[in-house]
Structure 1
Amino acid sequence: MPRGGGRKSHKGRMRQFTSVDELEAQRKKDQDRRKQESSEEESSSEDESSNADINNPNRVQQKTKKISQLDEIPQAAPTELSRRQREEIAKQEAQRRYEQLHREGKTEEARSDLARLAIVRKQREEAAKKREEEKKAKEEAQAKQKTQSLNAIKASGKRSRP
């Protein structure tokens, strides 16, 4: 069943076909016109080249300059920056100033970082001292135990001889 609810298609209803004779006549017209244009271009190309310089007001002639004249060219005044460019430069400058102050320890964040680092350093030192003390205590305990065991061996050796 065709789609569209029974509507008929309008495709191809008004097609027109060009006859072979009309196509040939049109082709010949185009060829004649091209021949005329090319012959006109050849004759007028010499005239146009001399008039091209005069007729084109937008053409800028390149002027040759000596090296000594290059230094004499006035430098263009610096163009004013747009608002966004000024804001971007100000933002970068503020960031640079903040980083400088931070390195010097003058910002609140830097002070809090330094205080936190001092606390951590102190805790690490205390932990290192505690480990060292525990290690010494352990070594002393082992040495004491060793001397006690040696004394016990000596004492037991003396008893067995008599």
Structure 2
Amino acid sequence: MPRGGKRGHKGRGKQFSNPEEIDRQMKAQKELEENPNAEKVDSADSEDESSSEDENESRKKCGVEGIIEIENPNRMSQKSKKVAELDVSAPRELSRREREEIEKQKSKERYMKLHLEGKTEQARADLARLAIIKKQREDAAKKRDDLKKDKDTDESKAKR
């Protein structure tokens, strides 16, 4: 039977890279991450440079990488930040909920300020209602005073 079963073999055989090549690629990548603008010094590493340049050229030639520069964020190693490097004094970005909560509190404070000044519709209605109640109480107090005076006068007439 042919390779791949009844349907036949499709595709190429798998090619595995050797560990030395992988180590060289990792070293070159770390150097680029650490010193992206620094120029390399010609020394004993010239063989490594030529081989890494060949690898970069061959890597750029294959697929779309020759046409479009692709930066894979997953390929770069994630560097963990140390506690000493963290900037505690920097302002922290607020989440959407926190921003909305702050805006809600500010709007409530503005409304209460306007309400106390009597500029809102509800405050005007409350003041009008209070004015009506005050007037009714004053009228009731006058009536009571008049009734009291009438009683006093009636009592004083009765005593005489």
TM interval, short-chain normalised: 0.3 to 0.5
TM-score of the superposition, structure 2-length normalised? Answer: 0.45
| Structure having the higher Rg | 1
Q: State the structure with bigger RCO (CA 8 A, min sep 6), 1 or 2.
A: 2
Q: Higher helix fraction: Structure 1 or Structure 2?
A: 1
TM-score of the superposition, structure 1-length normalised? Answer: 0.45
